A and B are shown apart, each in its own frame.
Chain A
Amino acid sequence: MRSYSTRPDRRSPLRRLRNLGIALTAGAALTAASLAAQDDPAPEPAPEPAPEAVPAAPSLLFLRANKVIVSPGKSLDNMGLLVRDGRIVAMGTDLAAPEGVETIEGEVICAAFIDPWSVAGVDASSARTDRVDTASRATDALDPYGQDEVLDDLLESGVLMLRVEIGSAAAVSGVGAVIRADGAVPVLADAAISARLYAPGLDPVSRVGQVDRLASALGGAKKYADDVATYESNLKTWEEEIAKKETELAEDFKKAKKSRDKKVKEAKEEGEELKEKKYKEDKRPRPPKFDAKKASLARAVGGEVPMVIHVEQALELRELLRVTRPFTRMRLVLAGGRSALLFADELAERGIPVIVTPAPSSPGGDVGEMDPGFALAGELSARGVEVLIGSGATSASASRDLPLLAAAAVGHGLDEDAAFHAITAGPARVFDLQSKVGSVRRGLHADLLVLSGDPLSSSTRVLASISGGKVVHQAGN
C-alpha cells in the first residue's frame, strides 16, 4: 500500500551503472510513506507499518476553513477540501462534508511546512560524522525509533517534511533525502547531494583549498560520466560490427567448409599437419572502472539532483561561484550564505536559491561586520534571490523552530508571502516535489495544516496536522 519515489529514471548514460545497484531504486525496500501515486515513476511496494503500527490512513477526510492559502500570496475564502487516499480530490466553497466523513474545521488551511535543511529523523552519530562520501545515503540513517520524541514535536509545530542530510562534519556528505516527519519515512530518497565549504578557524589558503578540492571532485565526476557515455557508444558500434560479421561468416560458412575439407584432404596426402586460418576481430570495449562515489556525484553535476553547498564566508562563496560556472547543468543551492548579499546579483541572475537560517549578527563572527543577522533573508529576497528558510541542521529538535524562524525573518524585513514561500512552495520546487506538495491544489498530496490564524503569526495554533492524508496531530489530543 505504501511506497515512495525516486527521481524519474531518465535515459542518462549512468542508467546502466545505477542499475548495477547504486540506483536508488535499490533502496526501495526502505520504510516508505503513503505516496502511492499513479504519477510516481515505478513506485516500488515496500510493506511497512509505521513503528507503532498505526492503522492505515483513513480513506476519506474533509477539511473546511474560512481561508485556504493555495499558494504564497494566493488564498481562497471559505473553502472545503475533500481528501481521499492521501490526496486532495476536491476543493470548493459549496463543497459539503460527505455523510459520516471525519471533518476538521479551522480558520486557515495551508500547505504543511517543509524544512529544507534539517537532521531531524536522522540517527545522531550519522548526522555528525565526517566518515561519509558522495555515495553515502541519508536514507540509511533514518531512525524512527531513536527520534520519535523529536518527530512528534515536529508534527505539533506543523513541520511535516524535512530535507535531511548526514555527515555534517564531512566536506561532501552524500545523498540527502526528503522525509515525512511522521515516522521518518522517505518521500524522495535522492533529494540532493550536499557539501560544505565552512570550516571556522581555517586560514584563507586552506579555505580556498577546500573550494579547489570540491571543484576537482566535480570535475572528476563529470569526466567519469563522459567516459561512461563514450564507453556506451563504443559498445554500441562494436556490437553492431560483430553482428554484421556474424551474418557474413554464416553466409560464407559453406564455402569455408568446402575449402577446409579440401585442405584436410591435401594435408592427409602430404602427410602434414593442417594449418587453420588465423581469425582476428576487435575486442569488446572495456567499461571504465566502476566508481560509486563518482557515479553518485555525477548525478549532481548532470543536474539530475540539486547540489546543496553550505557556505558562509565571502572568500569561499566568491571562489565557489567562480569554479561552478563551467558546470552549466548543475543545480546549485546555497545553505547558510551569511555573506551572500555581496553576490546577490549573480545569485539572482544564475537563479541560485539560498537556504537561510535566521540568526543574530555576531560582531567579530565569521563574516564580521558584513553579517546582516536576521535581516539577511529580507535583503536577499529584496535583491531578487530566491530565499528558503531552514533550521540549519544544528540539532534534530532545531527544526521545531522553523515557523518561528520564518516569523523572525518577517520581523526583520522579509515579505510575509516570501517567508511562507520559503518554508512551503520554495523547498517543494527546489527539491522537485512541487507536483506533490508545497501548495494546496486538487490532485496534490494532502500534506496540510489546519490553523487558528495566519501561518506565521505567533498567536496562531496548529489545530491539526495532516501528513499524506493522515491526521498526525490534533490540538488538545
Chain B
Amino acid sequence: MLISCLIAAAPLLGATAADDAFALRASHVHVGNGQVVLDAFVVVEDGVVKSVSNNAPRGVRVVEVDGHIAPGFISLRETLGAGSENAERTRKSTPTADLSFAFDPTSPNWKGLVSEGVTTVLLPAGNSQIAGGQAAIVSPAAGEVLKRNAVVTLGLSRAALGSSTAPTSFAGLYAHLGEQFAAAPEGSPLAEAKAGKVPVMMRAVTRSEVHRALEFAAAYGLKGAVIGAPEADDLVDELKASGLAVVFESKAAPASSKDVVKSALALSKAEVPFAFTSDAGSQGPLGMRMQAAACMRAGLDAGAALRAMTADAARIAGVDATHGTIATGRAADLVVWSGPPTDLTSRVHSVYAGGHLVHSAHAHGAHQ
C-alpha cells in the first residue's frame, strides 16, 4: 500500500530531489566502520554522500534531525520478495542463473523491511540448490537491482541433497560440484569464483558440513562467506585460517539463537568478519537487529554489532565500495534513529535510500 505509492513517487521525488542537494544534521553520525562523528552534517548530492563534517555546508538545505544517523542495514539473505522464484528445482545446479530476475519490486513484504532500516538486501538461490545461481543485491526501497551477479551461492548442506533425485549423498554432491567447476568456461560465474573475482556464499549448517565447505573452498581458492554455521565458535581456528566470513541466519523461534550468540562473540574475538540476515526469522525484518541485540546483551560491543549489519556485510557481499558506510561517494542510504542504531529501544524516524526519503515515521500511520 504505502510502498506502491513510494514506487510511484520515487521517480518524481528523484527528479526534484536529485539535483537538489541537501544536508542532514544530527547529534551522532555512525559511519559504519565503528567511528562516530558527533554533531555532524551529512551532505547528500545526486543520491550519494558528498561529505561528512562538523562544519555547516554552504548553499544547501539543512534538515535538522533529532537523533542518530547510521548507514542503512544490509541483510545478507532475504527471499521475502522472491517467493519460491529463487530455486530452479528441475536441476540441482544452474550456476549461470541470475537471481535478479527472481526479484519482485512490488512485493508488499519489502515495506516492513525498509521501515526497520534495512535498505540493502542480498537475494540468494534457494537452499535446495547446489550451484543455484548468482545472487543479486537489491534495494527494497527503490525497488531496484543494485548489483547483478554479485555473489555465487552454493548449497553444501543436507538441504541440498535429494531423497529420490541425484545426488543423495555428500560424496555425490561434491562430485557434482567438482564437475560443475571443471566444466565452467572462462568468464562464467564458477570460473570467476575460482579466480577469486566473485565472492561465494556457501550454505553449510552442521560443523561437519562447514568443515567440508572450508576444505572445498581451500581446494578451489574460493573467497567469500559461509552462511549458516550456528556452531562457528567451535571452528574459529579453521575459519580464521580460511579467510572466509560467516553469515548467521535468523531463527524461527526463539528469535535469538544461543549458538549464534556464542559464535558471534567468538568470531568477533578472533576478528573473523560476520553478518546477519533478516530472512525466515520469527521477528521478520527485526530479526537481524534482535539477534545483534542478543549478542550485545551477552557482551558484543555496539560498534561490532553495527559493523556486522553495515560495513562488514557490505564487504562480504562485495559492495563495500558503494554501500555499508557513510562516506564521500557512498550511496546515500541513511537511517535516522531516535537513539543508537543497534539499540532495540531506538525508533526509526526516517529512511533515505539513494538520497530519497523512502520512509518516515510520521507518514507511517497504518492503523488510526
Contact surface of A with B, Cβ cutoff 8 Å: 153, 156-157, 341, 359-363, 370, 372-375, 379, 391, 394-395, 397-401, 403-405, 407-408, 410-413, 416, 456-462
Contacts and interface: CB of A to CB of B under 8 A. Distances in A.
Q: Interface residues of B: mostly helix, strand, loop or mixed?
A: loop
A213 to B, nearest CB: 29
Interface in B271-312: 282-286, 290, 292-294, 296-299, 301-302
B258 interface: yes
A175 to B, nearest CB: 25
A163 to B, nearest CB: 17
Contact of A157 (B297, B299, B302): B297
A412 B366 contact: no
B342 A360 contact: no
Contacts of B301: 459
7 contacts: A373-B112, A379-B367, A398-B255, A404-B256, A407-B293, A458-B340, A459-B342
Contact of B297 (A362, A397, A410, A462): A462
Contact of A401 (B254, B298, B302, B340): B254
Nearest to B257: A397
A399 to B, nearest CB: 8
Contacts, number: 99
A404 B258 CA distance: 14
B346 interface: yes
B285 A458 contact: no
Contact of B367 (A341, A405, A461, A462): A341
A458 B367 contact: no
A411 B290 contact: no
A12 to B, nearest CB: 39
A458 B284 contact: no
Contacts of A156: 298
Nearest to B282: A359
> Which residue among A360, A370, A379, A405 has the maximum number of chain B CB atoms within 10 Å of its CB?
A360
Nearest to B258: A153
A412 B366 CA distance: 13
Given A404-B294, A410-B345, A397 B254 contact: yes
Interface string B198-211: 00000000000000
B294 to A, nearest CB: 6
Interface in B325-368: 340, 342-347, 366-367
The CB with the most chain B CB atoms within 10 A, among A399, A405, A413, A462, is that of: A405
Query: Which 5 A/B pairs are nearest by Cβ-Cβ distance?
Result: A360-B284, A407-B344, A458-B293, A410-B345, A398-B254
Contacts of B293: 404, 407, 458
Q: Which interface residue of B253, B301, B342 has the most chain A CB atoms within 10 A?
A: B253
Contact of A360 (B112, B253, B299, B347): B112
A394 B109 CA distance: 24
Contacts of B344: 404, 407-408, 410-411, 456, 458
B297 A458 contact: yes
Contact of B286 (A374, A416, A461): A374
Contact of A458 (B112, B254, B282, B296): B296
Contacts of B254: 391, 394-395, 397-401
Contacts of B340: 458-459
Contacts of B294: 401, 404
B108 interface: yes
Given A370-B367, A401-B256, A459-B296, A408 B290 contact: yes
B253 A398 contact: yes
A413 B344 CA distance: 11
Contacts of B282: 359, 394
A373 to B, nearest CB: 7
A244 B183 CA distance: 108
Contacts of B299: 461
B290 A401 contact: yes
Contacts of A397: 253-254, 258
A400 B299 CA distance: 16
A459 B255 CA distance: 18
B112 A361 contact: yes
B256 A458 contact: no
A359 B296 contact: no
B366 to A, nearest CB: 7
Interface string B100-113: 00000000110010
A394 B253 contact: yes
Contacts of B342: 458-459
Interface string B250-267: 000111101000000000
